[in-house]
Structure 1
């Protein structure tokens, strides 16, 4: 008596017959929610967001203001930063300010710049990429050359010029980052649109009299969103690092507003005698960027089941069986 085994999908751990007809988005979600690293990273990101949102609560719990200088009890008799203690959990900086409170408020700047600049970057890149890939011809040539110019222009030089004209501010940081990051998104979207614009569903939409804008944003755009989402997730930590770098160089948000990059800059002259001054802001930056990168890797693997990490996981699973 012969039996027929039901084939299983290694990615979702379900019978293949049960996943037939499901959308790629549903399958990607099922793969993502089984990725423990991605889920842990997402939880860490939520905790960081909660710390940023409830920074005033952190300040209230410690009883210390974000820019208040506690020179009497926040500095040693020699005028040096105080080590972590029951009063100052993460220690103090060179002015006697609570490092824990400043890190919590600094998370607001990093996340705000990371999310806003990334969304602005992606919006510009998607529009330019859609137009270049869909229309082609002279429009594609002009936009492609514009992308090449933006990618070849030195970012730091532009940031220096912009800051020297307008002065450092949060708005300048977001504009500087967005002005140079959208070109990579445009290239990705353009390449995807070039492979889609002659597909049957696009031709069908044209034959029905749909406008170009409707075809681009209703018919084509949803089909290129997967790589855009992956790139967006991986771009956020890059933007956070860029913002920290600009603040470290004095080109970011001006003092006394706390930023992680600015705190690292302030700790340069004290790291040998006050390790906490540089370690805790550095750990905050490291953990945040690492969590976003790991989540981005998980999103990439969810949309691309043929990636190396997923294949390795499947191989290990098969060896265990």
Structure 2
């Protein structure tokens, strides 16, 4: 990324109040997840004497039906949700970039084969595949990450392919090709660096999608298994107590909403900052 784009990106970010708020919120959430062990409460420790305690100075988010501190469970649940989001994003982005670059750079029958395969995979309802795979695979964080990544790489591949087809026709790439540089060197030295803005924006959107997908999976009971918590599983557990303890659904729901919204806001800012010509006519 050249200095001009970096300066433009910083200008876009720090001139946007929603962008600053989103960045600060994500930093707070990540720090909370990282330092969750500092909480004085064990997230899985049951207390039969304090079920459904409303939020107060001792229990900031109250307690659940088993008397467990809800704030501690939200912190530890954030660890899983954010880990799944980031790890799935990395894996999906890597697969999508590899497929997109190979398809866009080489073209011909390789492009046709990869794109037809991508069309077939994309035509299968993602959530149906997600549920089926979760039934046959043992529930674990690692399996959830792999499953979600395998369902998210297609959009990255399409965008990267289109951008690769554009980059490979630019003068400096044509000159490098004419000088006898091999395909591997062309891709690593010229194509991939030109794709960095597209990759960053796609990765940001993938994090939000992965968190939503993990939350949906956990909400339906196919994600991380009890007593461990994620924001989605907390919502699932809360649905039977909406009238009695609405805060049980409110807090994890807000955390999911704010996290996904923050990533989407940052994604829009990155898109404008890294590709200003597309948004400033």
Shorter-chain TM-score tier = over 0.9
- Aligned match for 2:25, one of 44, 47, 72: 44
- Aligned match for 1:122, one of 84, 88, 93: 93
- Structure with the larger RCO, 1 or 2 (CA within 8 Å, 6+ apart): 2
Q: Specify the SS of the correspondent of 1:269.
A: helix
The residue aligned with 2:45 is: 68
Q: Which moved more, 1:260-269 or 1:249-258?
A: 249-258
1:169 counterpart = 2:165: no
Bigger radius of gyration: 1
- The alignment's TM-score, normalised by the length of structure 2, stands at 0.94
Q: Structure 2: where are the runs of 5+ without partners?
A: none
1:260 counterpart = 2:241: no
The residue aligned with 1:228 is: 199
C-alpha contact 1:162 1:172 (8 A) present in aligned 2: no
1:34 Cα deviation from its structure 2 partner: 2.3
Give me the whole-angstrom Cα distance separating, in 1, the residues matched to 2:276 and 2:181. 34
Q: Structure 1: where are the runs of 5+ without partners?
A: 1-20, 76-80, 312-321
1:86 counterpart = 2:63: no
C-alpha contact 1:38 1:297 (8 A) present in aligned 2: no
Which one has the bigger helix percentage? 2
The residue aligned with 2:208 is: 237
- Aligned match for 2:165, one of 191, 194, 201: 194
Give me the whole-angstrom Cα distance separating, in 1, the residues matched to 2:177 and 2:276. 33
- The alignment's TM-score, normalised by the length of structure 1, stands at 0.83
1:306 Cα deviation from its structure 2 partner: 5.6
1:56 counterpart = 2:27: no
Give me the whole-angstrom Cα distance separating, in 2, the residues matched to 1:285 and 1:307. 30
Give me the whole-angstrom Cα distance separating, in 1, the residues matched to 2:119 and 2:130. 18
How many residues matched?
280
Give me the whole-angstrom Cα distance separating, in 2, the residues matched to 1:293 and 1:105. 23
